[in-house]
Amino acid sequence: MAFMAAGALRALADIGANIPKGILLVGWDDTDVARFSLPSITTIHSTRQGEHC
């Protein structure tokens, strides 16, 4: 989920990780959070069928 990726991005930045040169981060579900984070988070958009992906 992009919200979890945004939290991971923040935690990595807090410890001084070099993002995106040293660590690449990909989220899931293509939410607005991904577009507005710095750096922006690459996300995967999926269309869900039923309750399970």
pLDDT tens, position by position, 35-50:
777 787 888 887 766 5
Q: Which of 12, 15, 33 is nearest to 23 (CA)?
A: 12
Split into its structural domains, the chain has a count of 1
Confidence class for position 15, pLDDT limits 50, 70, 90 = very high
Domain holding 35, by residue range, is 2-44
15 domain residue, yes or no: yes
Confidence class for position 14, pLDDT limits 50, 70, 90 = very high
With H, G, I as helix, E, B as strand and everything else as coil, classify residue 12.
helix
53 domain residue, yes or no: no
Other beta carbons within 10 angstroms of residue 5's beta carbon come to 21
